């Protein structure tokens, strides 16, 4: 039985969520709270397995409550945000940086069919996120780079491709935050997120980082800075040095697909790319990063201890496609030293030296 605390200042929303969740036998609502102050107190009192957290509330908002809960009694928190309010969406990502594990949209009232679909999604996410590992966080922490990791390669790649899912926004922020605004390598990101929230992710990263952040647009030329995949299509790279947004081809494919991003980067850049697979559920990206690995490209997986969910990087590591595992601070330090590297010798992966024979790629981009 998953014990849930519902936090929302709207009685109507709380009643709607209760009605939906009470239909799921595996979920028990142990308490409700109408503001962040109550949420912090009832988290201690009722010991829930998961909290659904509203953003805008009196006395203490959802971000402040999340920060206090994660420093007091850590528990998985799913932010419930208005999909039409851009400020709420940005606050949601700040809360995820503070320790919340996911964000979902608020339900549409008076629309039964939409409510049923939303309720099914909410129940699915609660069951998935209730077992996510969370750690206690100091509220006034300052994260800085640790000692530089060993050099993985003596030459700089020409682009960086990153995939992430659960826990990804916080990891991305920590990794990319130290990069200067004129960082010379293009960075492509595939982040699994609830549909409708990727624009909030882009705006949040833009506000937090010095490096320019943009949403991927079909046909645009590749540029330095950070390009984020949309949530309704796949981000791919073409031989003409352009962005391509493609439509899903089957119901089982993640949208956006990390495998598609990595595979396109492998075919265009070959060994002159860097692939990074971060925290997340499932196995998306493990095959695509294997394509990169087989070209001779360096591939990095987030290590288990720093991952919110050690799923995607674990599968890639088990398949032998990861050159080295790192935590976000080490990855950040490595990215900072890439532009200064020179030479051609590359580090072997766990399966020995990688062959480039019989693999087609084009570096004339």
- The Cα 167–Cα 226 span in angstroms is 19
Pick the range with the lowest mean pLDDT from 124-138, 165-179, 218-232, 350-364: 350-364
- Provide, rounded to the nearest whole percent, the portion of the chain with pLDDT above 90: 67
**Amino acid 133: pLDDT:** 76
Q: Would residue 9 show up in a list of annotated catalytic residues for this protein? A: no
Its pTM stands at: 0.84
**Amino acid 347: pLDDT:** 36
Question: How many Cβ atoms are within 10 Å of 94's Cβ, its own excluded?
Answer: 21
Q: What is the pLDDT of residues 82-99, one digit of tens each?
A: 877 788 888 899 999 999
Percent of residues in the chain assigned helix, strand, coil, to nearest 5: 35, 20, 45
pLDDT range class, residue 342, cuts 50, 70, 90: very low
- The Cα 174–Cα 229 span in angstroms is 19
Integer CA distances (angstroms), 243 to 140, 188, 217, 265, in order:
39, 10, 7, 11
**Is 50 exceeded by the pLDDT of residue 349?**
no
Question: How many Cβ atoms are within 10 Å of 328's Cβ, its own excluded?
Answer: 23
**Amino acid 217: pLDDT:** 95
Q: Would residue 234 show up in a list of annotated catalytic residues for this protein? A: no
Mean pLDDT in residue range 243-256: 85
Name the one residue in this structure whose structure tokens are 């503070």: 98
Mean pLDDT in residue range 252-280: 93
CA dihedral angle for residue 235, residue 238, residue 244, residue 249, rounded to 10 degrees: -70
Mean pLDDT rounded to a whole number for the chain: 85
- The Cα 90–Cα 87 span in angstroms is 5
Residue 183, classed as helix, strand or coil, is coil
- The Cα 322–Cα 262 span in angstroms is 13
Catalytic residue among 192, 234, 254, 267: 192
Contact 248, 234 (CB under 8 A): yes
Mean pLDDT in residue range 299-317: 94
**Amino acid 357: pLDDT:** 36
- The Cα 296–Cα 90 span in angstroms is 38
**Amino acid 109: pLDDT:** 61
**Amino acid 159: pLDDT:** 95
pLDDT range class, residue 240, cuts 50, 70, 90: confident
**Amino acid 242: pLDDT:** 93
**Is 90 exceeded by the pLDDT of residue 345?**
no
Q: Would residue 259 show up in a list of annotated catalytic residues for this protein? A: no
Contact 1, 48 (CB under 8 A): no
Domains of the chain (ranges; CATH) run 2-129 (3.40.50.2300), 159-340 (3.40.50.180)
Q: What is the pLDDT of residues 120-169, one digit of tens each?
A: 899 999 999 988 877 655 444 434 444 545 556 556 899 999 999 999 99
Q: Which of 35, 101, 97 is nearest to 67 (CA)?
A: 97
**Amino acid 111: pLDDT:** 56
Catalytic residue among 259, 284, 291, 327: 284
Residue 324, classed as helix, strand or coil, is strand
More confident residue, 32 or 346: 32
Contact 189, 162 (CB under 8 A): yes
**Amino acid 110: pLDDT:** 59
pLDDT range class, residue 348, cuts 50, 70, 90: very low
Catalytic residue among 81, 130, 165, 286: 165
Q: Which of 234, 163, 229 is nearest to 201 (CA)?
A: 229
Token pair recorded at residue 10: 């709207």
Name the one residue in this structure whose structure tokens are 């796949």: 234
Q: What is the pLDDT of residues 196-211, one digit of tens each?
A: 899 999 999 999 999 9
Question: How many Cβ atoms are within 10 Å of 240's Cβ, its own excluded?
Answer: 11
């Amino acid at each position: 039985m998953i014990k849930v605390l519902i936090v929302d200042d709207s009685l109507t929303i709380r009643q709607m969520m209760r009605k939906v969740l009470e239909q799921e036998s595996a979920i028990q609502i142990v308490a409700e709270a109408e503001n962040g102050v109550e949420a912090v107190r009832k988290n201690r009192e009722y010991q829930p397995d998961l909290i659904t957290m509203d953003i805008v509330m009196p006395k203490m908002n959802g971000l402040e409550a999340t920060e206090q809960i994660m420093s007091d009694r850590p528990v998985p928190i799913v932010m419930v945000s208005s999909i039409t309010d851009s400020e709420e969406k940005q606050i949601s990502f700040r809360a995820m940086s503070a320790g919340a594990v996911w964000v979902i949209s608020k339900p549409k009232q008076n629309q039964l069919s939409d409510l049923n679909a939303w309720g099914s999604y909410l129940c699915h996410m609660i069951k998935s996120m209730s077992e996510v590992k969370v750690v206690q966080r100091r509220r006034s922490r300052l994260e800085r780079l640790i000692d530089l990791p060993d050099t993985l390669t003596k030459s700089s790649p020409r682009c960086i491709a990153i995939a992430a899912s659960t826990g990804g926004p916080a990891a991305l922020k920590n990794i990319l935050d130290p990069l200067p605004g004129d960082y010379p390598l293009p960075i492509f990101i595939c982040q699994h997120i609830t549909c409708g929230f990727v624009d909030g992710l882009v705006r949040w990263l833009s506000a937090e980082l010095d490096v320019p952040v943009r949403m991927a647009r079909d046909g645009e030329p590749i540029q330095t800075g950070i390009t984020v995949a949309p949530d309704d299509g796949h981000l791919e790279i073409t031989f003409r040095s352009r962005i391509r947004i493609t439509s899903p081809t089957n119901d089982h494919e993640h949208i956006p697909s990390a495998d598609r991003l990595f595979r396109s980067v492998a075919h265009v850049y070959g060994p002159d790319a860097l692939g990074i697979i971060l925290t997340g559920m499932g196995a998306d990206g493990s095959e695509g990063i294997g394509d990169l690995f087989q070209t001779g490209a360096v591939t990095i997986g987030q290590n288990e201890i720093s991952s919110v969910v050690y799923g995607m990087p674990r599968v890639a590591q088990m398949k032998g496609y990861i050159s080295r595992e790192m935590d976000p601070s080490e990855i950040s330090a490595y990215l900072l030293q890439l532009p200064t590297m020179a030479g051609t010798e590359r580090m072997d992966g766990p399966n020995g030296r990688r062959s480039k024979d019989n693999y087609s790629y084009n570096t004339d981009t």
